Structure 1
Amino acid sequence: MSTTKTRGKTPHRTRAPRRTVENAPMSPFHRRITTYSSGGPFLDGYILGIVGIAMTQMQPMLHLNSTWQGLIGGSALGGMFLGGAVFGYVTDLVGRRLMYTLDLWVIVIMSILQIFATNAPEIFVLRVIMGIAIGADYPIATSLLAEFAPKRHRGTMLGLQIVAWYVGGTVAYLVGYLLVGLGPGAWRWMLASSAVPAFALVILRHGTPESPRWLMAHHRVDEARAVMNQVFGPESELPPANEKPVSFGLVFQDGYLRRTLFVSLFWLFQIVPLFALGAFGPKILSSFGLASGNAANLGSAAINFVFLIGCLPALRLVETVGRRPLIIWSFVFMTVGLAIVSVIAHPPLWMVMFGFVVYALASGGPNVLDWIYPNELYPTRIRASAVGVATSASRIGAFVGTFVLPFSLAAIGIRDTMLIATVITIFGLFVSVLWAEETRGKTLAEASRPE
């Protein structure tokens, strides 16, 4: 409390504003929940990365034809499509806390069972189930994180999720590099190794409180007050109540349909060219002697690291210049990077590398906004559902980039393939100019209110 004196009047006390979720300072609790929520993207990057390394040993041992290689490689992506679409809505119904560790137990169990797999169908089924659990974790963890985040730090806290994805991918290649020395059966331990970070997250996430926003939306006022007192102190103020029930259909209705198209399309248009640019990866790596054998795992880790570096300045810019300018200018420079390697026939290596670096650094903007926009543009009652829809759309993009790209390279060549990737990026720019909103500095209630 502070005392204010005025001439001719007795002193009176001015009451300090009560602590709310939105105006709370960054605390150890916020740092912990940001780290724990990043576990899902970390596992996504790790699981998608490690299977590519394990495939080099699985293929001859299990006699995998090209069809089964493709199915196993994309099994987690298919599972994530289902997991995001279904369990985002389930999370809005039953709460964030219940699902926060349940999905991780599924990943732990499926990871361990891969040690005992004897054929391709068994591995495929196990990895589809793992993908469902990872796809479910995106709306679960990021919704919980957004609903605890102060508005000054919300963009950075959510943006760190993509950093965790690239860290997971980088670690996967390093682990694969180390485990290859175990011999022909090392692929089993590679696939099972995802159980280690998943189990660690189960322990770390234990005891995380339920979102007070979700509790208020479901009229559980006493529980919400207890959580606010625990996290923000006894003088904290409850979030506003939401009287309307959960409705998945609202994601595609009224003012939210445009937002759903925006978050789904910009994420999809970002993912497809990212995988297309990977076509130049072997050419870049070969110049450093990292394109074949176990050394290729180190090269892939290095490429992941470049994309990770691009996310770091974006984490700062999202809170300084804002969301809308960041995504627009990022797509501009991503287009430039792709154009450098697609417009000129047979570009020299230095030009390929320059275009790759420009694209990788610029892609940090949409990367960090992948989880910021879907969580900010929707109210509590449909937030996880919206994140699930956006996650499913992104997996479509990943599927196209993973499976259509090889056919495109064989049919029309790398230059025309990259030209198509450039056009797709321009679509992402167009969608962003047309529909991107500015949510910096707004409370979640303000940001989620339809324009």
Structure 2
Amino acid sequence: MSSSTTKNTDVPHSGSYAYRVCAIAALAGLLFGFDIAVINGALVFLRDQFHLSDFSTELAASSLLAGCIAGALIAGWLSDRYGRRSVLAASGLLFAVSSVGAALPRNFIEFGIARFAGGIAIGIASMLAPLYMAEVSPARIRGRLVSLNQMAIVTGILFAYLVNWSLSFQGQSGWRWMFAIAVLPSLGLFIGLFFVPESPRWLVERKRIPEALDVLKKIEGRNAEAQLAMIQNSVLAESGTFSDLLAPALHRPLFLAVALAILQQITGINTVLFYGSVIWERQLGSSSHSTAIGANVTIGLINFLATIVALWLIDRLGRRPLLMFSSGCMAVCQLLLGIAFLLPSPPALLVLGCMLLCVAVFAVGLGPGAWVLMAELFPTRVRGRAMSVANTALWIASFVLTATFLSLAHAITITGAFCVYSVMCVLTFLLVQKLIPETKGKSLEEIEQLWM
């Protein structure tokens, strides 16, 4: 076969195969998005059902995130021991069980336990889905493929908002179906993972070289053997223990990943995603649950469309420009939201416009960009453990934000809260501008050389 023929067949095939594999793994992102967003609409009903105070409302919203911390803590060890694919499949089953549990609680404690279990599944999936996708993606389209995870997350968020709105007309019991419907994609993830390969980098770590080469031939085409050699060299150079994360060469990538993970959350995006309906009812005097929940559908749609733009841009413009644009614009949006709530009767269109713009610029840059970079920055042998640390930091930050928003708004006013988030956005901009390297177009092994 001539080289021109190889070029015309292998490379397109490798891209299409990687897309199919990543599409199945992205179901974990869909469940991630659905589970974090479904509480937005359910909260207004849960407050009535269980007579929740502001503190209990924060617990209802953040119990999932407490589970996410636990899931992120164990995800790296589990994936390095049992493989990316097997652990992702287990998380799919846990998603299904937790969805049923959240739909059928007899009291608030049972609800919290079910949501905590769902959080464990999210904590695992949030780390493993982008990690697995990065490890089965050709370098030239890796940013786009890993961003499919963010695309799936925002699709899940939009799906949750639509489900919430449609079921809000069913009365007080509608919130139970809001949680129960997640069983279907949960089982889809579990079944679908039987039809995708294990990560070639994990297979090399386990010395299953022929299997790794077979997978790489489907992913990389004619470059499979060269990629295999690069992976083998990378694996031989790393010892892969938690203590290795303290090695001098890993100080910078670990700091950057953890800092970016924390800042992505404390820029305040989850105040809109989790508490949108409560904000509309409490601050803007929305007359019905359905109206308040319906406003979130527009936010979910903008989030979805902006993420499509991100998929198109991230491998063209690179990670850094999108991250700086995103964090800079978010700083302005959060400040404008704070100013809007200073007005005696905040205009609903102004508040909605600020929320929409904030969500849009987050989805274009900081949303997918942070996940892509966290999956790219670390050497192969410690990638699972390092991402576990970064994801744990992310979920701790998300938990703190979600568990304190109503209390913070009460203590320093909602205007003060959004001004705090605006400052966090400025800090994110400065971190990216000064310290984050550009990884566009580089293989994972080439990125590793940046820290040597």
Give TM-score, length-normalised by structure 2.
0.86
Counterpart selection for 1:90 from 78, 90, 98: 78
Aligned residue number for residue 406 of structure 1: 406
Deviates further, 416-425 or 340-349? 340-349
In the alignment, which residue of structure 2 is the partner of 1:8?
none
Q: State how 1:373-388 maps to structure 2 within 5 Å.
A: 373-388=373-388
1:186 aligns with 2:174: yes
Counterpart Cα distance in 2 of 1:285 and 1:358: 20
Instruction: Spell out the pairing of 1:19-418 with structure 2 (5 A cutoff).
Output: 27-229=15-217, 236-237=224-225, 239-240=228-229, 241=232, 242-243=235-236, 244-272=238-266, 273-276=268-271, 292-342=288-338, 346=342, 349=347, 352-363=351-362, 364-418=364-418
Distance in 2 (CA, whole Å) between partners of 1:127 and 1:275 is 17
| Contact 1:96 1:210 (C-alpha < 8 Å) held by counterparts | yes
Amino acid at match of 2:359: A
| Aligned-partner Cα distance in 2 for 1:445–1:86 | 25
Residues of 1 paired with 2:239 and 2:145: CA distance? 28
- Give distance in 2, aligned partners of 1:353 and 1:60: 25
- 2:214 & 2:311 partners in 1: Cα distance? 32
**Residues 1:24 and 1:389: Cα distance change in structure 2 (over 3 Å):** farther
Are 1:377 and 1:448, in contact at CA under 8 Å, matched by a contact in 2? yes
Distance 1:447 1:184, change over 3 A: same
Q: 1:330 to 1:63 in 2, by over 3 A?
A: closer
CA distance in 2, matches of 1:123, 1:67: 15
In 1, distance between residues paired with 2:223 and 2:278? 58
Greater Cα offset, 191-200 or 347-356: 347-356
SS at match of 1:438: coil
Amino acid at match of 2:69: F
Amino acid at match of 1:369: G
For residue 384 of structure 1, what is the amino acid of its counterpart? G
Q: What CA deviation, in whole Å up to 9, does each residue of 1:360-393 have, x standing for no partner?
A: 3322211111221011111222222222222222
Offset at residue 150 of structure 1 (A): 1.0
Residue 72 of structure 2 aligns to which amino acid in structure 1? G
Report the CA distance between 1:268 and its aligned residue: 2.1
Deviation at 1:396, TM superposition (A): 2.4
CA distance in 2 between counterparts of 1:381 and 1:217 reads 7
| Structure with greater Cα Rg | 1
Q: Distance in 1 between matches of 2:286 and 2:256?
A: 38
Q: Which amino acid aligns with 1:155?
A: G
Deviation at 1:344, TM superposition (A): 7.8
Q: Aligned partners of 1:269, 1:51: CA distance in 2, in Å?
A: 23
Distance 1:15 1:32 in 2: 23
Residue 154 of structure 1, CA deviation: 0.5
The equivalent residue for 1:9 is: none
Q: Is the 8 A contact 2:139 2:442 kept in 1?
A: yes
- Aligned residue number for residue 424 of structure 1: 424
- Indicate how the Cα distance of structure 1 residues 254 and 406 shifts in structure 2: closer, same or farther if over 3 A, else same: same
Q: What amino acid sits opposite 2:417 in the alignment?
A: T
User: Within 2, Cα distance between the matches of 1:19 and 1:229?
Assistant: 12
Q: Are the counterparts in 2 of residues 43 and 198 from structure 1 also a CA contact under 8 Å?
A: yes
Report the alpha carbon displacement of residue 63 of structure 1 after superposing the two structures with TM. Answer: 4.5
What is the one-letter code of the residue matched to 1:339? L
What's the C-alpha RMSD, in Å, of the aligned pairs? 3.2
CA contact (8 A) 2:148 2:311 kept: yes
Is the Cα–Cα contact under 8 Å of residues 25 and 150 in structure 1 kept in the other structure?
no
In structure 1, distance between residues paired with 2:110 and 2:61? 13
- How many residues matched? 439
Quick one: which amino acid aligns to residue 359 of structure 1? C
1:441 is paired with a residue whose SS is coil
Stretch moving more, 110-119 or 435-444: 110-119
How far is the alpha carbon of 1:277 from its aligned partner?
Answer: 5.8
Q: CA offset at residue 52 of structure 1?
A: 3.5
In structure 1, runs of 5+ residues without a counterpart are: 4-13
C-alpha separation in 2, matches of 1:205 and 1:291: 45
Structure 2 CA distance for aligned equivalents of residues 168 and 342 of structure 1: 28
**Quick one: distance in 1 between partners of 2:310 and 2:221?**
32
Residue pair 2:40, 2:277 contacting (<8 A) in 1 also: no
Sort the Cα spacing of 1:432 and 1:108 in 2 relative to 1 into closer, same or farther, 3 A.
same
Structure richer in helix, relative to its length? 2
1-structure distance, mates of 2:418, 2:283: 20
Amino acid at match of 2:240: V
Distance verdict in 2 for CA 1:57–1:314, change over 3 Å: closer
Following the alignment from structure 2 to structure 1, what is the Cα–Cα distance between the partners of residues 51 and 361? 41
The worse-fitting range, judged by mean Cα deviation, of 409-418 and 421-430 is 409-418
Q: Distance in 1 between matches of 2:37 and 2:61?
A: 10
- CA displacement, residues 308-363 of structure 1 (integer Å, 9 cap, x when unaligned): 33323222222112112221232222223333344688367465455444433322
Deviation at 1:429, TM superposition (A): 1.2
* Counterpart amino acid of residue 264 in structure 1: V
Question: What's 1:6 paired with?
Answer: none
Q: Is the 8 A contact 1:82 1:132 kept in 2?
A: yes
Change (3 A) 1:19 1:323: farther
Q: Which amino acid in structure 1 is aligned with residue 156 of structure 2? A: G
Partner of 2:440, secondary structure, is: coil
Residue 210 of structure 1 aligns to a residue whose secondary structure is coil
Change (3 A) 1:254 1:208: same
The Cα of 1:80 is off from its aligned counterpart by: 0.7
Give the TM-score normalised by the residue count of structure 1. 0.86
